[in-house]
Chain A
Amino acid sequence: MNRKEFLQSLSAGLAAGAFVLPNKVLAQGKTKTIRIGFLAALTGFASSSERIHLQGGELARDWINSHGGIKIKGETYMVELVPEDHKSTAEGAVSGATRLVHDKGVKYIAGTIMPFTVAAVTTVTEPAGVLRSVGYNAGTPQEFSAKTPYTFLSQNGTIGAIISGMRWLKGKFPETKTISVLIPDDGSIQHLAPHVRKWAEANGMSIKGDIVGWPLDTVDFTPFALKAANLGPDAVAMVNGWPGMVGSVLKALRKSGFAKPVIGMHYLQVEDVLEVAGAEASTNYYVHGLMLNDPELPERIKWILETGTKKYGHKGLAFWVEGFDPVYTIAQAIGKAQSLDPDAIRKAWEQMDTIDTAYGTSKIGGRETYGLRHAVVGPRSIAGLERGKPTAMGWVRDIVVP
C-alpha cells in the first residue's frame, strides 16, 4: 500500500467511526433503567438465608429484563437492582433504608423479610413516600397496616398461612375438632391469636386452651411441646418459627407420645425439618412448603429453580422465590401505573384485582385483615413428612385474605 492509499483507507475508517460511534452512544442513551432497592441481611445472623433472597431478586431482575423490561408510555426500562445490607438488625435496616432513599435516591424498595426489620424500615420509607414490597409479614400491625400506605405485601404472610392452613387441615383431617397452637412470644401473639381463633372456627374447629407462647431465646423446646400436647388436642399448629425450632418441637411431641397431626402455619422446607427432627419423629407433619419434585410446581418457579441452580450453583428454592416476588410485583405495578411516581404506582396497585407472582395469578386483598388492600395472596403448596419421607401434599388454591 502506498502513502496515498494508506491515507485514503485511514480517512474512510475515521469517517466510518465518526458515524458509528455517536450512534452507538445514542443507542446506549436510549436504554433507561428503573432502580429498585433490595434490602437484605448480607451480614449478621440472617445473612445465610437473606443472601439467597437477594439472589431471588436478581433472578427477578433477569426475568423482567429478558422479557422486554418495563414499558412505560412507549419507552422501555430495564430493572437495575440496588442492594443494601441491613446487617440482621433493626438499626441496620434503618440505616440501610436511609442510604437507599436519601443517598442513592431509590423510589422503590423490595424487602425485607424479618418482622423487626420490616417494621424498622417503615420509619424511613413511609415519610419519604417510597414504595415498598415486603417479602413476608408475621402478622403485626407495626409491619403492615393502614398506617403504612406505601407498603405492599408480596407474599401470603402468616395470616395467609393461617387461613390456608386451617382450611387444608380440616380438609385432610375432617375429624379434627380442637387444635393447640404454638406461637413465638415476640409480641405477635396478641395480633395473631384472633386470626387463629377466627379461621379455626370458620372451618368448624376450635383452639384448645390458651395459645402456647415460647420465647425467642429458647434452648429447649420440650416444655412448650409438652404443654401443647397436654392440652389434649386433635392436632397441634405452629404459627411462625424456623426449622430448628419446628424440628425440636416435632421431635419432643413425638417422643412424648403425641402422634396426631402437626401443621405449620408458615413457610418452610420440610427437608430442613426432617434434618432436625430425624426420620423417626418426622411423620404426620405438614407445612406450607415447596418441593423440588412437586408435579404441580408452577412454570415460573421451575424457571427460578433451573436458572438459579445454574447461576448460583446450589438449590435455594424457597428463599429465591421469597426474593423474586417483591421485585416482580413492583415491576408489574409500575407497568400498570404507566408512571414512575410512587404515589401513582401505589394507587394503580390498589386498583388491581390480581397480580402475577412466582406462584401464578394471585389476588389482592387484605382491607379487612390489615386495614388496607395491599396484600398479594396466591396459591400455596403443602408439603408433608410421612414416615420420615418428604411428600408433596397438593396445593391450596383460591385463598382469600379479606
Chain B
Amino acid sequence: MEPLFEILVSAVLLSSMYVLAAAGFALVLSIMNILNFAHGAIYMVGGFLCYEFSVGYGLNQWLALALSAASMALFGLFLERFLFRRFYGDFFSSVIVSIAVIFVLQTTINLTVAVNVRALPTFAPGMLHLGSVTVSMERLVTAAIGVALLAAMVVFVRVSRTGQQMLAVAQDAEGAALQGIRIHRLAAIAMAAGCAMAAIAGSFMGAVFDLNSTMGDLILVKVMQVVILSGIGSLGGILIGGLVIGSVDSILPLFTTPAITQAVGVAIVIALLLVKPQGLFGREMG
C-alpha cells in the first residue's frame, strides 16, 4: 500500500508540473491560434533569468521569480509585435518564426551561461510527511502553483471582460474585430501572459530539476502531448491532459521498460487523435 501511495503522490505532483508548463502554451494557442514552439525556449530562458537575478545578483528568490516573469512578459510583447503579428492567420510562417526564436535563444544561452551546470535553489525547503510518504515541499509548492495558475487563467478568460474578448477572438477574429475588439491588444496580452507563465514554470522546474539549454525541448514534448490530449481551445482541460501524461510518466516506468512507457504515452495521444481529433475538451481549429 505504501509504495502505491508514494507512486500516486509522485504522479499527481508530476502532472501538476506538466500543467504549470502547459498553461501558457495553451493560452497562446487557444487565443492566438499560434503554435508557439518557442514556448520551451522561453521557459528555459525564464529559468536562467531567475537564476541570474537570485544567485547572480543576490535578490530574494521570489522577487527574482517575479522579475523573470516580467522580463519574459516584455519579451512576449516584443515577439507578438515584431514577429508574430505580421503572420496572423499564416500558420506555417508563425511556426517557422517560433523555430527561429528557439535557435536564437538556445544559442545565446549555449554561448553564455550554459557551460556551467546550474540549478535554482529551492523555493520551498523542507519535507512534508503524509503518513508514511515523504514529499518535498518544493514539489508540493510547484504543483500547487501550477494548479493555481491554471485556475486563475480559466477564471480570467471566463469571467473578465478582456477574457471574454479573447474567447471571441479565438472563435472568430474577423467578427470580433467588426465588433470593435482590438485584436492586437488582446494578442499582446495573451502572448505576454503565456511567456510570463513559461518563465514561472521554467524557474520552478529549474529548482526541482536543473537548468540546462535543452530543458525547454524536453518539456515542449510533454506540453504538446498535454495540449493535444486536452484539446485546442480548452484551458481547463489541461488539468486532465496533465494528469494523464504525468501519470503515465510516473507510474509506468516502475513496472515496465522506458521504451514501453514512451510508446504508451504516444499511443494514447495517437488513439485520441484518431477517435476525437479535437481532443478531449477542445474545439476544431479553422
**Quick one: which of B14, B106, B116, B251 has the most chain A CB within 10 A?**
B116
On chain B, the residues within 8 Å of A244 by CB distance are 117, 119, 209-210, 212
Query: B30 CB to closest chain A CB, in angstroms?
Result: 23
Query: From A273, which residue of chain B is reached at the shortest CB distance?
Result: B117
On chain A, the residues within 8 Å of B213 by CB distance are 45, 48
Distance in angstroms between the alpha carbons of A248 and B205 in the assembled complex: 11
Is B119 a contact of A223 with CB atoms below 8 Å?
A: no
0 or 1 for each of A263-283: is its CB under 8 Å from B? (1 = yes): 000000000100110100000
Q: How many residues of A contact B (CB 8 A)?
A: 36
**Quick one: which of A213, A222, A257, A275 has the most chain B CB within 10 A?**
A222
Distance in angstroms between the alpha carbons of A222 and B15 in the assembled complex: 13
A43: interface (CB < 8 Å)? yes
Stretch touching chain A among B147-155, B172-180, B256-264: B256-264
**Quick one: which of A44, A48, A214, A230 has the most chain B CB within 10 A?**
A48
Q: Check A219/B254 contact, CB under 8 A, given A45-B106, A49-B115, A247-B119.
A: no
A:238-277 near B, CB below 8 Å: 242-244, 247-248, 255-257, 272, 275-276
Is A227 a contact of B254 with CB atoms below 8 Å?
A: yes
Is A222 a contact of B10 with CB atoms below 8 Å?
A: yes
Query: From B10, which residue of chain A is reached at the shortest CB distance?
Result: A222
B218: interface (CB < 8 Å)? yes
Q: How many residues of B contact A (CB 8 A)?
A: 42
On chain A, the residues within 8 Å of B254 by CB distance are 223, 226-227, 230
Distance in angstroms between the alpha carbons of A222 and B251 in the assembled complex: 10
Is B218 a contact of A219 with CB atoms below 8 Å?
A: yes
Query: A251 CB to closest chain B CB, in angstroms?
Result: 8
Query: From B113, which residue of chain A is reached at the shortest CB distance?
Result: A48
B:236-275 near A, CB below 8 Å: 249-251, 253-254, 257-259, 261-262
Query: From B212, which residue of chain A is reached at the shortest CB distance?
Result: A244
Distance in angstroms between the alpha carbons of A339 and B69 in the assembled complex: 61
Is B209 a contact of A220 with CB atoms below 8 Å?
A: yes
Distance in angstroms between the alpha carbons of A242 and B111 in the assembled complex: 19
A:184-235 near B, CB below 8 Å: 185, 213-215, 217-220, 222-224, 226-227, 230
Distance in angstroms between the alpha carbons of A215 and B262 in the assembled complex: 8
Query: A256 CB to closest chain B CB, in angstroms?
Result: 8
Query: From A41, which residue of chain B is reached at the shortest CB distance?
Result: B110
Main secondary structure of the interface of B (DSSP, over half): helix
On chain A, the residues within 8 Å of B119 by CB distance are 244, 247, 275-276, 278
A47: interface (CB < 8 Å)? yes
Is B114 a contact of A255 with CB atoms below 8 Å?
A: no
**Quick one: which of B10, B116, B127, B258 has the most chain A CB within 10 A?**
B258
Distance in angstroms between the alpha carbons of A43 and B134 in the assembled complex: 42
On chain B, the residues within 8 Å of A247 by CB distance are 117, 119, 210
A316: interface (CB < 8 Å)? yes
Distance in angstroms between the alpha carbons of A310 and B115 in the assembled complex: 18
Distance in angstroms between the alpha carbons of A316 and B116 in the assembled complex: 9
**Quick one: which of A215, A227, A242 has the most chain B CB within 10 A?**
A215
Is B111 a contact of A222 with CB atoms below 8 Å?
A: no
On chain B, the residues within 8 Å of A222 by CB distance are 10, 14, 250
Is B210 a contact of A45 with CB atoms below 8 Å?
A: no
Which residue of A51, A223, A226, A257 is within 8 Å of B249 (Cβ)? A223
A:117-132 near B, CB below 8 Å: none
**Quick one: which of B121, B122, B249 has the most chain A CB within 10 A?**
B249
Is A220 a contact of B14 with CB atoms below 8 Å?
A: yes
On chain A, the residues within 8 Å of B101 by CB distance are none
Is A276 a contact of B250 with CB atoms below 8 Å?
A: no
Distance in angstroms between the alpha carbons of A185 and B221 in the assembled complex: 18
B:1-35 near A, CB below 8 Å: 3, 6-7, 10, 14, 17
Is A227 a contact of B212 with CB atoms below 8 Å?
A: no
Which residue of A44, A248, A256, A316 is within 8 Å of B210 (Cβ)? A248
Which residue of B17, B110, B257 is within 8 Å of A47 (Cβ)? B110
B214: interface (CB < 8 Å)? yes
A78: interface (CB < 8 Å)? no
A101: interface (CB < 8 Å)? no
Query: From A227, which residue of chain B is reached at the shortest CB distance?
Result: B254
Q: Check A44/B118 contact, CB under 8 A, given A185-B259, A213-B258.
A: no
Q: Check A255/B110 contact, CB under 8 A, given A213-B258, A217-B221, A219-B218.
A: no
Distance in angstroms between the alpha carbons of A55 and B259 in the assembled complex: 37
Q: Check A219/B253 contact, CB under 8 A, given A43-B107, A49-B115, A230-B3.
A: no
On chain A, the residues within 8 Å of B262 by CB distance are 215, 217
B39: interface (CB < 8 Å)? no
Query: Other CB < 8 Å A-B pairs besides A185-B258, A247-B117, 7 of them?
Result: A43-B110, A45-B214, A218-B258, A219-B249, A243-B210, A255-B127, A314-B115
Nearest 5 interchain pairs by C-beta: A272-B117, A244-B210, A48-B114, A223-B253, A215-B258
* Contacts A/B (CB < 8 Å), 24 sampled: A43-B107, A43-B110, A45-B217, A48-B110, A185-B259, A217-B218, A217-B262, A219-B209, A219-B218, A220-B14, A222-B14, A222-B250, A223-B250, A226-B6, A226-B7, A227-B254, A244-B119, A244-B210, A256-B134, A272-B117, A275-B210, A276-B210, A278-B119, A278-B121
Using a CB–CB distance below 8 Å, which chain A residues touch chain B?
43-45, 47-49, 51-52, 185, 213-215, 217-220, 222-224, 226-227, 230, 242-244, 247-248, 255-257, 272, 275-276, 278, 314, 316
